[in-house]
Amino acid sequence: MHYFKPHGHMPFGPAGSVILAIDEYESIRLADHENLKQEEAAKRMNISRPTFTRLISSARKKIADAMVNGKMIRIEGGNFIFLRNRMKCNSCGKIWETDIRAKTYEPCPNCSSRNIEDMSRRFGRGRFRGYGPGRKFD
């Protein structure tokens, strides 16, 4: 499980947290972090634009609730399939994608460090948990 929480002591119970599904997380990442238009982001997720609009709206509402009310954000669940591995260099912070079938990892293309993390593994490697039709994340 991956989560963000406010600084300081806070309980890890459901009352002090909101759950952001993996597909909601991906909608935030594409729209707000990568600055894609909704049409392009929906194509990347292999979903319709109206479905993307519902996901991003739900995600933003949950994030606002967490920020305003000091709640932890847990990222988990949903129904998803990874089409590519998303790698992160723990030395310089660069994020890049590799083929999902890769058995070994190349060093960071930015700094050549081998201190890298397969972010797809952090989210359960595409295990199906939760609701809705399968989302395919690029």
Query: What is residue 123's predicted lDDT score, i.e. its pLDDT?
Result: 58
87-132 pLDDT, tens digit each? 888 999 888 888 776 767 789 999 999 998 887 666 554 433 333 3
More confident residue, 133 or 48: 48
Per the CB < 8 A criterion, the answer to whether 27 and 41 are in contact is yes
The model's confidence at residue 3, banded by pLDDT at 50, 70 and 90, is confident
More confident residue, 7 or 36: 36
Query: What is residue 130's predicted lDDT score, i.e. its pLDDT?
Result: 35
pTM of the model: 0.61
According to DSSP, the β-strands at 2-4 and 72-75 are: antiparallel
Query: What is residue 119's predicted lDDT score, i.e. its pLDDT?
Result: 75
Q: What is the mean pLDDT of residues 64-78?
A: 87
Highest-confidence segment of 38-47, 81-90, 98-107: 38-47
Q: Give the CA distances from residue 37 to residues 32, 40, 50, 115, in Å, rounded to whole numbers and listed in that order.
A: 9, 5, 13, 33
The full set of domains in the chain, from first to last, is: 17-75 (1.10.10), 82-128 (2.20.28)
- Report CA torsion sign: 35, 120, 100, 105: positive
